[in-house]
Structure 1
Amino acid sequence: MASRLNDIQKEAEATKEAHSHQLLEFQSQAQENHTVIHAQLSELVDYIHRGRADKKGEMSGSRGPQQPAATQITGSAVTPTFEQRVQIAQRRLVQTVINADAATRESQEAAERDRERRRKEAQSLKRRRRD
């Protein structure tokens, strides 16, 4: 009976240790996710502020090309490090926002050109009717 109790106690300790390890891994991953999200949000805020400065006629600074972080080589494939994956995700997110902004701007410009064309046609018709 005592040996069975010791076995159960050892098993409970092992389970507790495993859960503790899993909790630490979860906390670590949560912190990494928080860092990624924070970095992406910072990039978006920077982009938005640059856009406002451009609209006001101010020159916006560019960070220029960034140096790639070290890579991990696994077998014959090159696997990006966590930092590189974060940078890739940030670039994709910012590029998506830039592309959406450009598409919106192009659509607005096309609508403005169309309004101007219609206005000129209406003026031309009025002149013809008067003559």
Structure 2
Amino acid sequence: MLRQPGSPFHQILEFHSQAQENHAVIHAQLSELVDYIHRGRADKKGEISGSRGPQQPAGTQISGSAVTPSFEQRVEMAKRRLVQTVINTDAATRESQEAAERDRERRRKEAQSLKRRRRD
């Protein structure tokens, strides 16, 4: 009687199950991030090394007319998004640093040019 869908007991079980899935996803993302951080600089530039190759996720679950990714597929997608976010952030940081360096160099040249004009 208490274990029917919608009952408090059933809601607690659903919440617990979702919490476990969330924990697994976060753990997988963190593991992938740690792996990424520990890879060499060449990997961070997009050159993939190693013999693992792309991992094929498990099959999909079909519910009604929509195709729902399995838990394993959702974990893989989350890991890919996390790694891509880190790669994009690295690239943006590098571009920002390069732009700042170009700006400093431009200002240095302008200052030298002004000094020369003042001497003349």
Q: Scaled by the length of structure 2, what TM-score is found?
A: 0.71
Q: Describe the SS at the equivalent of 1:78.
A: strand
Aligned-pair CA distance for 1:44: 1.8
Gaps of 5+ in 2: none
Contact 1:54 1:60 in 2 (8 A): no
The count of aligned residue pairs is 113
Pairing partner for 1:109 from 98, 106, 109: 98
Q: Note the 1:6-85 alignment, pairs <5 A.
A: 14-15=1-2, 20-50=9-39, 53-54=40-41, 61=49, 63-85=52-74
- Give the letter aligned to residue 73 of structure 1: I
* Separation of aligned partners in 2, 1:76 and 1:122: 67
Q: Deviations over 1:4-27 (max 9, x none)?
A: xxxxxxxxxx33786555444433
Aligned-pair CA distance for 1:37: 0.6
Aligned to 2:113: 124
Structure with the higher fraction of residues in helix conformation: 1
Q: Deviations over 1:39-58 (max 9, x none)?
A: 111122222233xx419xxx
Aligned-pair identity (%): 79
* Separation of aligned partners in 2, 1:78 and 1:70: 10
CA RMSD of aligned residues (A): 2.9
Gaps of 5+ in 1: 1-13
Q: Describe the SS at the equivalent of 1:68.
A: coil
From the superposition, tell whether residues 49 and 111 of structure 1 become closer, same or farther in structure 2 (CA, over 3 Å): same
The farther-off stretch of 98-107 and 24-33 is 24-33
Q: Scaled by the length of structure 1, what TM-score is found?
A: 0.66
